[in-house]
Amino acid sequence: QITLKESGPTLVTPTETLTLTCSFSGFSLSSSGVGVGWIRQPPGKALEWLALIFWDDYKRYSPSLKNRLSITRDASRDQVVLAMTNMGPVDTATYYCAHWDSRLFDSWGLGTLVTVSS
């Protein structure tokens, strides 16, 4: 059974860098076709894809946010870390990590709400 869990700060101040960790189990990030992605959802708004890291360490980012994002993996600890710089109030959202199986997100974490406020 695949499980994922997001962790990190619930409150960040404007201009700060947000660092979120996705801890997963039930799959190996070394298996061909596998990846872990990050998706966010502002309150009352739509899902927005942020980043994806693949089994071979290939990384892809949302074009609109790529200058602020960094995704890394620690395969030995079954974790993926997302960093987002220069946080602002518009970045207040629930952040999800999800398992990527070749061409879809098939399992999601419960999400973590991050509020940006001074």
Partner 1 sequence: QSALAQPASVSGSPGQSITISCTGTNSDVGGYDYVSWFQQFAGKAPKLIIYDVNKWPWPSENFTRFSGSKSGNTASLTISGLQADDEATYYCCSYADAAVIFGGGTRLTVL
Query: Where on the chain is the footprint of partner 1 (CB under 8 A)?
Result: 37, 39, 46-49, 52, 58, 60, 62-64, 96, 103-111
Q: Looking at beta carbons only, is 1 or 118 nearer to partner 1? A: 1
The least CB distance from residue 24 to partner 1, in Å, is 14
- DSSP 8-state assignment for residue 29: T
Q: Do the Cβ atoms of 50 and 65 come closer than 8 Å?
A: yes
Tokens at residue 99, please? 């398992």
Q: Looking at beta carbons only, is 57 or 106 nearer to partner 1? A: 106
Q: Looking at beta carbons only, is 15 or 102 nearer to partner 1? A: 102
Residue 3 neighbours by CB under 8 Å, 6+ apart: 24, 25, 26, 107, 109
The least CB distance from residue 62 to partner 1, in Å, is 7
Pairwise CA distance, residues 89 & 72, whole Å: 24
The least CB distance from residue 110 to partner 1, in Å, is 6
Q: Looking at beta carbons only, is 17 or 47 nearer to partner 1? A: 47
Distances (CA, A) of 16 to 42, 69, 89, 91: 18, 13, 11, 11
The least CB distance from residue 86 to partner 1, in Å, is 20
